[in-house]
Structure 1
């Protein structure tokens, strides 16, 4: 039986070690409404988003799970997408997480746009002039961002 041998594995070993180090250099992706995002009156966007997502029965605000629903629907594919992003970025962890951040922010904004139930109350429609839930000034949708590690939100 013939034996098969390989030579020149030093370059491959170095490439894999460098790729692993680069992939491990980025540790965290945050997506949503960052702590510095506020409305002009100082109200935190994350606070308003949480009320809209989970509802506030005492204030007669029904839940509209735009964020938690998006996570439930999209998160099963995030691992495979991250693997693709790592390959695409030559295993640069920070770049791969940035690509994922862009994608997830896009999914979040689409979820806000698509949310249409429960319908708004007639009083809210009269005040706003239109019947689209979660969109009033567009401040919340425009505040959706991501950050990799401790970088500034993008």
Structure 2
């Protein structure tokens, strides 16, 4: 007795994977942060500028680096990989577009950054800052910076 097999649908799968690759090449990255033009604080300071100073520290060293983007995102890289692994099959099946998948990843990344601020970023505020604002927790004043963190899927 001779066993015969046949495989069908390979062309459809190959075409779908090609479409996904092309879509991925168009939607290459998700940008997470505080975009320029987000707005300003009551004193007129642009929120994006203050975000950059907090993320990297001031050039004169007066404001220490308080990474609310790079560090928390690196700490959660395995979570992002797990999301990718969970969603890419849905893209292959046509249940999600590449843009939708990357939007979900971007939303999670923005949330991770916002949660890091809420939990507290080191180093704590200086005693003079604590006296002025009444809290030792950095980056928590009006909540404007935390609320301004967003993502953009690059097309």
TM class, shorter-length:
0.7 to 0.9
CA contact (8 A) 1:29 1:146 kept: yes
Query: Secondary structure at 2:60's aligned position in 1?
Result: helix
Distance 1:46 1:58 in 2: 19
Aligned alpha-carbon RMSD (Å): 2.6
1:26 equivalent in structure 2: 27
Q: Point out where structure 1 has 5 or more consecutive residues left out of the alignment.
A: none
1:131 equivalent in structure 2: 136
1:56 equivalent in structure 2: 58
Distance 2:89 2:149 in 1: 26
2:145 aligned to which of 136, 140, 143: 140
Shift of 1:113: 1.2
1:6 equivalent in structure 2: 7
Structure 2 vs 1, CA of residues 122 and 91 (structure 1 numbering), >3 Å: closer, same or farther? same
Taking structure 2 as the reference length, what is the TM-score of the superposition?
0.78
CA contact (8 A) 1:22 1:91 kept: no
Distance 1:51 1:91 in 2: 37
2:77 equivalent in structure 1: 75
